[in-house]
Structure 1
């Protein structure tokens, strides 16, 4: 049978999505059940108890294809990425009305500034608002979120670099997708999605986003620069904004400096010379 990218193929041998019947081998083929993440973050791993490949955020939807031994295998509806999550991190599907547009926000037990918050959730998380109290909005869990930290579900930013800048100083975390920790492709994905652009999870997949720049085209804000295993945003024509293992954080860096360091093998993730530059048109 045809080889498929396992990152994007909802099949694990035990079960496969029904649309893959005849394309991949599986014991059974299922429609799957869409569930909602009920934890602030949950790791999406390449195998049960395996290494983190990505993360899902509070309120995000996950299509469960198979469940056994406390783990659910399935597919993120954010980007189609497949893997395993702890089954207990999921609950019944719930339609969201808003998303968190601040780097992080607290869930307050009462609609009062001094009420001790119980937990934080992160940029990109989805929530269902049940009532508007002015400075706070009540969500379906019974918690309250500052109104200024939320946007309606269809609202989007216009500048991906401005979004990425909100993560400045965030610790580098392989497979991370939040202010708690993020990697290079996670930063690019979160910024582009927040601006209304579809964007896959990994840097090799992101080489298909936008259009490739000609070698003589000058760089501008928002352009993507790719190395083998690494990606970052140009914040202007000379400066890179990227999550990287050299700084172990999201940081600004002169492009020439980053190129020299990565070519010398000092990045920790990414190697060699620049392999591609791409431009995602913002419509502005």
Structure 2
């Protein structure tokens, strides 16, 4: 059975490439759209629960716009869901991305000018020009020091995850304003140029290779049923977790035992990229 999280089909429309589609659905070619809101919830159904999030400037493929809702598939990971059509704009070529935990979008190239909004790490931008220490976009000005060119990547996923220390836990979250365990792993890996799906079970299925000897190295991925973490330095892991309600470091043996004893069971996988 196809995974609905990654299958672009509903009762009205379906992607042309799908071998099987729901009865009555029409095969369509999507149009690329750009997220025009700092953080946009990707919902399981219109007005339904949040599954994941997409960020400012990310590209989604829109298969349908119906009653104010767009049925889309995120380019970054293939996740399917619904977003308000009003939160999308025309697609545009990304030139830069936010490579600091967060930044402000200002009205003018001046730190004393009003800020229009706040953008999370990973947000995508089209820079039109530069004025002093600021990059100009169609929506305002961003400090250049907070941006990297679109093709520049980090080399260490643990270092990326540590940028999020203290970020509040949010189920389905993908931003500096709120993030969950699989969102943190995905953000860290994508920032390093590694493809990564959105949910922990998907990540366990496709990422890395199994580690059989039990030796933990920084950057290793640990999985439990419904949870994941990255191994950090000094016999610690880093994860977004509901126990601390934040991204935090935790001693490895203690964390493994705590997670087991609270009812989530033992490790289901230890993997290395």
TM-score (norm 2): 0.97
Tell whether 2:267 aligns with 1:274.
yes
Moved over 4 A (4+): none
SS of 1:187's partner is: helix
Partners of 1:189 and 1:129 in 2: CA distance: 25
Q: Residue 80 of structure 1 corresponds to which residue in structure 2?
A: 78
Partners of 1:217 and 1:155 in 2: CA distance: 33
SS of 2:52's partner is: strand
Instruction: Write out aligned runs for 1:1-284 (5 A).
Output: 3-20=1-18, 22-25=19-22, 26-141=24-139, 143-207=140-204, 208-214=206-212, 216-236=213-233, 238-265=235-262, 271-280=264-273
SS of 1:264's partner is: helix
Structure 2: stretches of 5+ with no match in the other structure = none
Q: Deviations over 1:247-277 (max 9, x none)?
A: 00000001111111111226xxxx1001111
Partners of 2:25 and 2:253 in 1: CA distance: 52
Q: Is the 8 A contact 1:219 1:237 kept in 2?
A: no
Q: Deviations over 1:80-110 (max 9, x none)?
A: 0000111100011111110010111000111
Partners of 2:41 and 2:122 in 1: CA distance: 15
Q: Is the 8 A contact 1:127 1:140 kept in 2?
A: no
SS of 2:20's partner is: coil
The Cα shift of 1:116 comes to 2.1
Give the length in aligned residue pairs: 271
SS of 1:94's partner is: coil
The Cα shift of 1:134 comes to 3.3
Give the root-mean-square deviation of aligned CA atoms: 1.1
SS of 1:204's partner is: helix
Q: Is the 8 A contact 1:156 1:194 kept in 2?
A: yes
TM-score (norm 1): 0.93
SS of 1:132's partner is: strand
The Cα shift of 1:140 comes to 2.2
Q: Is the 8 A contact 2:10 2:25 kept in 1?
A: no
Structure 1: stretches of 5+ with no match in the other structure = none
